[in-house]
Structure 1
Amino acid sequence: MPLTVPAHGPEAAARLASMSDVTASDGSLRRFLHGLPGVDAVGLEGRAATLGTRSIKTTAKAYAIDLAISMIDLTTLEGADTPGKVRALCAKGVHPDPLDRSTPKVAAICVYPDMVKVAKESLGDSGVKVASVATAFPAGRAALPVKLADVADAVAAGADEVDMVIDRGAFLAGHYLKVYDEIRAVKEACRRPDSTSAHLKVIFETGELSTYDNIRRASWLGMLAGADFIKTSTGKVAVNATPPNTLILLEAVRDFRETVGVQVGVKPAGGIRTTKDAIKFLVLVNETVGEDWLSNDWFRFGASSLLNDLLMQRQKLSTGRYSGPDYVTVD
């Protein structure tokens, strides 16, 4: 299938057209992905560790906390989710600290497809988006028509964003064109009759991809197929977002924009629970891709518990007192 990624302007369109041979066949796609530079694991982990030691204080820390809050996809993905729980989460997303209305809103509320309508109605015109996982999340073990029906259901209910999971089995078996075509099909299913489209986040489940080289290949594969965001993890496995695997995604989106002129967002998800963790990731963004990605249009945190720690640290900065966990709601 030829490359048909939406381009950002005529120059990007021309660059993408020049790469159309890459996705013409399974063989050409494999040659391209395996021709990407190998990842220096020691260098990658060393850089991530070094950047993680940066000290952020006072005014810069306050800015980073507010920025991180604004980047959160506040998430509930449990079998016991109820409409009431989703409504409460939406209320928290719009006003994270009811006693301080200067607190930023989160970027989105992330739910299963059957809760999209509830979230959409609860959020109203708040500006907080509704994200929905789909494609048989989290394992992705379903036939393509079932996955596409899952996406269509979420989009019809009003989802602004769709978080899909790739077929890791196909990817690890080297069936790259199958994964590419599936992402393209999901991208098409994100379109609405009015010609608008839900943004597509493509989840790689980096903890299951075994090697850093595979994470880099998956990143390029997702972007070539039209991902609006590339995302580390579902949050449902043992190894989720880490600074090294997120650094690979950041390097990939930087190189992709330099190559074809299209900017793609990044979303680390799972295991990011503290303000200190979030700031480490923001430093990675600033030092790897720069200010262009330092907004919730281009960087998100997939998290459920991170917001509470950010709120407690925010209150400590403003009052000088640490309020403790009773200050925030338990989701």
Structure 2
Amino acid sequence: MSLTMDLTRALLRLRPNPFRTVASMRKSASRSRPDAPVPEALRRSFSVTADTVRGHEVIMLTPRTGGVTTDLVYTHGGAYIHPLLGVHWQIIAALIHGTGARVTVPLYGLAPEHTADDAYQFLEDVYRTVSERAGSAPVFLVGDSAGAGLAIGQAILYREKGIRAPNGLLLFSPWVDVTMSNPGIAAVTGLDPILAPEGLAAAGADWAGRRDITDPLVSPLFDTLESLPQTSIYQGVTTSSCPMRRSSQPRPRPLVPGWTYGSTPLHSTSSSLRRGPRKPAMRCIMRPTASPQGDQGRMSRTGPGLDWHPLSLQK
């Protein structure tokens, strides 16, 4: 780990963890804050437009030069209780610079006032509009943390409804199990300066609303995950959202038959997003293949959580 990351982690530990307890989570959620505005630097670099769908703002950023051949729909993280932050705009800007894609950012309602059902109605409307505008061009769903969970949930929903599937999913530390019941979480709780299982589980229950917390649209891990599009996952190893463990044991049966899980650069698995060679950060990639032979690692589910055997991670 670099000195910069060591310093960042040390500074984060000086701040109170809002998810340490249910009470601290509720206090954090009650502090109503607006979504971070689009920075002026991004407005200068990209064409920025806004619309309203079902009472929620939808922002679209389009490169000013070069033809747009790919659309991304980005759902931000925040445990379903926190709004879009300035750092999310940095991620979005990097995606546009790296891919040349047009990015649509739907600002969904947050818990406890809003639930997963509210979000999916809104996101489906947004996705249909983006897909119609894109025509035959590829459309990817992208998100971080809870927003990555929403990206997977959308793919599951559209599969069930027979709606055009996205061409791929790009996920950063996806939150796929709001029950937070994976026993492996305890091993990383003390290492994660931002998240903690008690508050996260309560936030997830609020988000579920009338749905069970194991409903695949709330906790995508409980879906079969079959017939989903090509998926790339970038995951840290000490976050509460996805505990992993190194293992030298024989590889288990894949979570999804016919899927392999290994370390592959983004630009070779998602050609529509390619813009020259990249040097990815720590990563683990999922992709469907015709044969499970020759993969570099597979993912299995051990109870309601993720367990990686072996880790094929690179820096």
TM-score by length of 2: 0.30
Specify which structure has the higher proportion of strand.
2
TM-score by length of 1: 0.29
Specify which structure has the higher proportion of helix.
1
